[in-house]
Amino acid sequence: RESRHDKFLRQHVDFPKTNSELDARRYCNLMMQRRGMTATICKPSNTFIHGSHPDVDAICSDGGTYYTENYYDSSAYFPITACRIVGGSQSPPCNYRGRTNTQRVRVACINGEPVHFKAPL
Ligand code: UM3
């Protein structure tokens, strides 16, 4: 069975960025499907971090600063693509809007590994 950390990597880490020539909307529509987030319902919001697995994992230790509870903010700025469902499409085919940015990211850590992406920073 997939661990929480493996699920986090599947849903939130894409490095190097897949099909970087695509615009953000096409990227989201492709990757939300390819990473298994559109099977039964369209996951409403999901952010992809374009950083290496070790660099993202390090947010929970020397690459991050403690925020609160089990949340840590990355020290590094990562390129990200934030995907958000276009109003209406709750079930497949899922239509997303995409937005790119470069920013620090906030994650929840369990046993020193990221398991959850925290929306705003
Ligand atoms: N989510 C993102 N990016 C956003 C907003 C929400 O990835 O900008 C995800 C994180 C959570 C879920 O999924 O939406 C609820 O906040 P996760 O637990 O699988 O990381």
Residues 56-99: tens digit of each pLDDT: 999 999 999 999 999 999 999 999 999 999 987 789 999 999 99
Q: How confident is the model over 100-113, as a mean pLDDT?
A: 98
Query: Hey, whose CA ends up nearest to atom 2 of ligand 1?
Result: 46
53 catalytic? Reply is: no
Q: Is 97 in the pocket of ligand 1 (CB under 6 A)?
A: no
Q: How confident is the model at residue 121 (pLDDT cuts 50, 70, 90)?
A: low
CB-CB contact of 54 with 61 (8 Å):
no
The arrangement of strands across the sheet holding 71-74 comes to 64-68, 71-74, 106-110, 113-118
Task: Note the pTM of the prediction, 2 decimals.
Answer: 0.96
Q: Is 10 in the pocket of ligand 1 (CB under 6 A)?
A: no
CA of 21 to the centre of ligand 1 (A): 24
